[in-house]
């Protein structure tokens, strides 16, 4: 495998920063099969840093999904006769769809930000919000078609989807037209200044 | 455990490679290939290019190493002042643990 091909696995920002020295290293050391696997995994981790919001570790997101799933699972008494872990498997499969939708949506956002740097960036953020809703809607529709899909709580998922859309749309509107609220000017007394 | 050793642990699976990179840079700046060779010599471990640059990326992001200007593609790095402190604290903690372990083994 050519070193240049391996470098393409990394995000563009990473390549721009470290690409030349990475290639210089690999051209001297050569590439063993273990090195190809090592670089592939490292590149995947760099992509995760791109996809995850700043400060939020992938593990925390994963655990948050599991916690939500566990709570969700207890809400269905008609599943009581099934072994718990079998009921959980369905929820794990369903939750993975939402997680994938969130990751893909995040990827779209970052791509939009990159492409739209400068004029039109805010419009791309609105497009990112719409794409988030569409991705989650598609994941939800696939979830409904899965065997053992649980129907009684669609409103919970709908609230989550609408909340995501509302938050993202507010951020886009903020970018388009300025703050949605007017910050209260600081009080002169609070600053300790005399009038 | 001091704040500095907590910060090194925050690097997750890259904490050990990061420590090896910092040890390698402790005696002066090196580029990637020199680090790889030095780490293999001192630890017996050969870091793959992905692991090496994963560690370099994270260390640079934390300000513990910094790149130096270079005329060719190979870019040398050096430990920063804060990097020195982090490494020093981590090695002090490891020295304490090694002493306790050695004593316990001797007493066993």
Residue B59 has pLDDT above 50, yes or no: yes
CA distance A160 to chain B (A): 31
Check residues A129 and B63 and name the one with the higher pLDDT. Answer: B63
Cα distances (Å, whole numbers) of residue B36 to B9, B43, B53 = 22, 11, 10
Check residues A109 and B57 and name the one with the higher pLDDT. Answer: B57
Q: Identify all chain B residues contacting A35, using CB atoms and an 8 Å cutoff.
A: 48-50
The rounded distance, in Å, linking the Cα atoms of B33 and B37 is 6
Top residue of A16, A22, A48 to mutate, by most chain B CBs within 10 Å, is: A22
- Residue B49 corresponds to which tokens in the numbers above? 């290019």
Q: Where residue A189 falls among pLDDT bands split at 50, 70, 90?
A: very low
Torsion of CA A167, A172, A173, A178, to 10 degrees: 120
Residue A176 has pLDDT above 60, yes or no: no
Residue A49 has pLDDT above 60, yes or no: yes
Q: What is the pTM of this model?
A: 0.58
Residue A34 has pLDDT above 60, yes or no: yes
Helices marked H in chain A:
3-7, 12-29, 33-51, 58-74, 84-115, 121-145, 154-177
Q: Where residue A4 falls among pLDDT bands split at 50, 70, 90?
A: confident
Which of A58-62, A94-98, A111-115 comes out lowest in average pLDDT?
Answer: A58-62
SS3 B79: strand
ipTM over 0.95: no
**B73 shares contact with chain A (CB less than 8 Å):** yes
Check residues B35 and A104 and name the one with the higher pLDDT. Answer: B35
CA distance A43 to chain B (A): 7
Q: How many CB pairs under 8 A join A and B?
A: 56
**A14 shares contact with chain B (CB less than 8 Å):** yes
**Mean pLDDT taken over chain A:** 64
Contact A24 B50 (CB under 8 A): no
Determine the pLDDT at residue A19.
93
Contact A46 B57 (CB under 8 A): yes
**B56 shares contact with chain A (CB less than 8 Å):** yes
Q: What is the mean pLDDT of residues B24-49?
A: 93
From first CA to last CA, the distance across chain B in angstroms is 26
Q: Where residue B9 falls among pLDDT bands split at 50, 70, 90?
A: low
Residue A165 has pLDDT above 80, yes or no: no
Determine the pLDDT at residue A31.
86
**B99 shares contact with chain A (CB less than 8 Å):** no
Contact A25 B72 (CB under 8 A): no
Residues 6+ apart with CB under 8 A from A122: A172, A175, A176
Determine the pLDDT at residue A192.
46
CA distance A61 to chain B (A): 16
Q: Where residue A119 falls among pLDDT bands split at 50, 70, 90?
A: very low
Q: What is the mean pLDDT of residues A90-107?
A: 61
In 3D, which of A56, A87, A52, A51 has the Cα closest to residue A72?
A87
User: Of the segments A70-79, A129-138, B37-46, which one has the largest average pLDDT value?
Assistant: B37-46
**A189 shares contact with chain B (CB less than 8 Å):** no
């Amino acid at each position: 495998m050519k070193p240049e091909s391996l470098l393409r696995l990394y995000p563009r920002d990473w390549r721009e920063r470290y690409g030349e020295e990475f290639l210089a290293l690999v051209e001297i050391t050569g590439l063993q099969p273990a090195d190809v696997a090592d670089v592939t995994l490292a590149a995947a981790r760099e992509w995760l840093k791109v996809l995850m919001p700043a400060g939020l570790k992938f593990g925390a997101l994963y655990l948050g999904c599991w916690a939500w799933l566990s709570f969700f699972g207890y809400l269905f008494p008609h599943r009581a006769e099934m072994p718990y872990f079998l009921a959980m498997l369905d929820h794990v499969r369903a939750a993975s769809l939402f997680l994938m939708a969130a990751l893909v949506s995040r990827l779209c956002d970052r791509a939009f930000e990159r492409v739209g740097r400068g004029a039109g960036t805010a419009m791309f953020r609105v497009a990112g919000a719409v794409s988030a809703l569409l991705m989650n809607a598609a994941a939800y529709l696939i979830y409904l078609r899965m065997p053992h899909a649980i129907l009684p709580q669609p409103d919970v998922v709908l609230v989550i989807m609408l909340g995501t859309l509302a938050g993202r749309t507010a951020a886009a509107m903020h970018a388009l037209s300025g703050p949605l609220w007017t910050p209260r000017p600081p009080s002169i007394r609070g600053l300790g200044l005399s009038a | 455990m001091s704040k500095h050793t907590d910060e090194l642990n925050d690097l997750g699976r890259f904490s050990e490679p990061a420590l090896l990179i910092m040890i390698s840079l402790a005696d002066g700046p090196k580029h990637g290939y020199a680090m790889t060779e030095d780490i293999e010599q001192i630890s017996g471990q050969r870091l793959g290019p992905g692991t090496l640059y994963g560690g370099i990326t994270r260390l640079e992001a934390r300000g513990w190493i910094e790149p130096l200007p270079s005329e060719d593609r190979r870019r040398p790095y050096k430990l920063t002042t804060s990097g020195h402190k982090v490494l020093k604290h981590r090695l002090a903690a490891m020295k304490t643990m090694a002493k306790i372990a050695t004593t316990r083994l001797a007493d066993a």
